[in-house]
Amino acid sequence: MIRINDIIDRAVDVNPDADIDIINRAYIYSARVHQGQMRLSGEPYLSHPLEVAKILADMNLDSTSIAAGLLHDVIEDAEATRVTPEDLKSMFGKEVAHIVSGVTKLSVLPFSSAQARQAESIRKMILAMADDIRVILIKLADRLHNMRTLQYHKSAKRKEIAQETLDIYAPIAGRLGIYWVKKELEDIAFMNLNYGEYSKILSRLNKGRQESEKYIETVKTLIQKKMEASQLKCEVLGRYKHIYSVYQKMISQNLSFEEIYDVIAFRIILSTIPQCYEALGILHSMWKPIAAKFKDYIAVPKPNMYQSLHTTVIGPYGERVEIQIRTWEMDKVAKSGIAAHWGYKEGKKMDETILKRFSWIQNLVENQENFRDPSEFLENVRIDLFPDEIYVFTPRGEIKSLPKGATPIDFAYLIHTEVGNQCTGAKIDGRMVSLKHELKTGNIVEIITTKGHHPSKDWLNYTKTVKARTKIRQWIKAQEKERSLSLGREMCEKAFRKHRLNFSERSKSPAMETVVGEFGLKSLEDLIASVGYGKITPLQVVRKFLPKPEAEEEALLTKGVEKRERKKTKEGVIVKGVDDILVRFAKCCRPVRGDAVTGYITRGYGVTIHRTQCINALKMNPERQIEVEWAPETIETFPVKIRVRALDRVGLLADLAANISKNAANILSARSENRSDDETVTSFFTISVENTTHLDRVLADIRRIKNVQEVVRIGR
């Protein structure tokens, strides 16, 4: 079993100021709580957290990470260990407790096998749930050690874990740029999933090993000599590619092992970037490069900040040789990825430049947009890769992605429209919640439906997805149509009854079909709904079924529908579209030619003309309103009431009367009221005028009379 001192040595190597105390305390605590527990291998359980901590130390992580690594399983096994996050917080501080809780959360996710098709969702979910990147790094170290000790599991379990590793964890390690972890995870997983192919490739690699070693030596020496001749100090490394990558190459390019020449790759490491390009030039002068294979990841780094020059050349024996050229700094990044960047500054926040370099985390996962300000989410090395998305489980373990802020209603509609329409409640992680409850990544969501239950309008306030909103609106609309149909039917039946007609009987008649067409509608249902919505009055419908004379009166209700010749009535008003109709002028507002007027149909009395702003007219049923206009050229006069207020004086009334007469307006009646308190007199006249211009002239003239204070037309 690895010793804690090896881990501490490594931590101090990386950083002389490392917090040894917290590592020691975590070790002692972990040893105590795991006491008596065994690994499947028969080793004491403690060996596992120790190995994990060693891997973390090898990643050059800080002492907080190493301590958290030592403690990473104490909460998960809480039944045995009886440790709570609060315990960890009080003993090791907020950070350690937070990280261990995060690792535990990931461990208890209900991932099952046969979920390869949702692998991408799971990867995103894991990255989304780990709000501190160290949570993922510990999870990776944990998985790596579990893979190293996979042989103690039964075959079926081995395959399950291996597949999950290949689908989920190896790609995450790759995205974080920790290639050595990715390679080891892949090779162990491959060995367990496809031992036949694995051992075939391995034995072939081994068979030619002696020859290969010689080959590596030859190529290394050739490169080294050329570089030295140009005063380039460098290190040349030759290495075997990992088995899974050889296998992948065979699969993807449909090659046999014999056709795969480049199972060995070379790396040249130098001090500066200019040296890298210089070395590239020398290399290309030695051996012919394959142009299509050249990649400049120094000028254009990979999203995870990997930098190198990649070239493939035709080597000394006519074989293809893959060569990477990079600086020592780049080599460090390539080896440990994100982990290369911290640990140096124990207990301190990362400085601005390093934080900036971390912005590549944004691009870790494809198809991600709408990131927040990178410096904001990288604060305290926290990550929030998917600020706008959450990932939740169905009770069967399927992962569903929803926008942030989504509720059980959104989830229900995502499952099925009927589930949405009939949902009455939700359980999250087995506990009842309200439908307004905001879902969080990792939740297991179960929807409770009740047959015959309906969506409600206010659900629109608690939904984030387009699908849910659309479906809810659709339902409401259908509901409204339903309502207007029954309302419309009721109104029609009533109106028909009033005229001793049977609506439902008429509905079936061919005449109704014609009527529907006359309204420009497609079906009787549309007609009834239009009545319900108030677009058509029931009277308009009834009229179509009335005998001629009776219909005539009602016909007036349809304004200007029938285009007939306008005819002047003797009253001087044209009722649009109607001949020979009795017209009366309303007594309340006494319209005068030139006034804006509106007609109202009075049953049995023809049309009554009101001034448009007349209060009585405004109170009338708009259904009865009909458009009218003044007929041109007439000689008749209109009675109008006026009121004149003036300071009383001798001869005032006579002056008023004379003035009105002078303007050729006939006085029909006159009345005066005296007020003793302020010595004013108010006179009312009904005069006849030809039109509003005539009236205006009369009023203007009265205003000029001495002592007159106010002259107004009255009547509404």
Nearer to Mn ion by C-beta: 142 or 410?
142
Q: Identify whether 217 is a catalytic site residue.
A: no
Tracing tokens 């969506």 back to the chain, one arrives at 455
Q: Which residue is nearest to Mn ion (CB)?
A: 142
Report, in Å, the least distance between residue 131 CB and Mn ion.
20
DSSP state, 241? P
3-state secondary structure 168-210: HHHHHHHHCCCHHHHHHHHHHHHHHHCHHHHHHHHHHHHHCHH
Nearer to Mn ion by C-beta: 53 or 390?
53
Nearer to Mn ion by C-beta: 51 or 571?
51
Which of 95, 142, 197, 526 is in the footprint of Mn ion by CB under 5 A?
142
Residue 29 · residue 50 · CB < 8 Å: no
Instruction: Tell me how many degrees the CA angle 260-263-269 measures, rounded to the nearest 5.
Output: 140
Identity of residue 127: L
From 76, 142, 184, 690, active-site residue? 76
Candidate ranges 136-144, 318-326, 379-387, 464-472; the one touching Mn ion (CB under 5 A) = 136-144
63-70 and 20-33 helices, crossing angle to 10°: 10
Provide φ and ψ at 96, rounded to 5°.
Answer: -60, -45
By CB under 5 A, the count of residues binding Mn ion is 2
Contact status: 51 vs Mn ion (CB under 5 A): no
Residue span 363-402 as binding mask against Mn ion, x where in contact by CB under 5 A, dash where not: ----------------------------------------
Candidate ranges 9-17, 142-150, 166-174, 588-596; the one touching Mn ion (CB under 5 A) = 142-150
Report, in Å, the least distance between residue 173 CB and Mn ion.
16
Q: Identify whether 77 is a catalytic site residue.
A: yes
3-state secondary structure 455-475: CCHHHHHHCCCHHHHHHHHHH
Q: How far is CA 130 from CA 101, 135, 362, 388, 611, in A?
A: 10, 6, 14, 15, 75
Enumerate residues 534-573 that contact Mn ion by CB under 5 A: none
Count H helices and E strands in the chain, helices first. Answer: 29, 20
Report, in Å, the least distance between residue 40 CB and Mn ion.
12
Residue 349 · residue 329 · CB < 8 Å: no
Residue span 55-94 as binding mask against Mn ion, x where in contact by CB under 5 A, dash where not: ------------------x---------------------
From 19, 43, 58, 77, active-site residue? 77
Instruction: Characterize the bridge pairing of strands 628-630 and 573-575.
Output: antiparallel
Candidate ranges 140-148, 283-291, 538-546, 571-579; the one touching Mn ion (CB under 5 A) = 140-148
Provide φ and ψ at 705, rounded to 5°.
Answer: -70, 140
- Would you state the structure tokens that stand for residue 78, as one six-digit string? 């809480």
Dihedral sign from CA coordinates of 234, 240, 242, 248: positive
Task: Give the integer Cα–Cα distance in Å for 37 and 49.
Answer: 12
Report, in Å, the least distance between residue 72 CB and Mn ion.
6
Q: How far is CA 278 from CA 123, 176, 530, in A?
A: 40, 30, 82
Nearer to Mn ion by C-beta: 55 or 338?
55
Nearer to Mn ion by C-beta: 59 or 698?
59
Nearer to Mn ion by C-beta: 142 or 526?
142
Nearer to Mn ion by C-beta: 144 or 176?
144
Residue 370 · residue 362 · CB < 8 Å: no
Report, in Å, the least distance between residue 292 CB and Mn ion.
44
Report, in Å, the least distance between residue 443 CB and Mn ion.
24
Identity of residue 591: P
Report, in Å, the least distance between residue 55 CB and Mn ion.
11
| Active site residues per annotation | 76-77
Footprint on this chain of Mn ion (rule: CB under 5 A): 73, 142
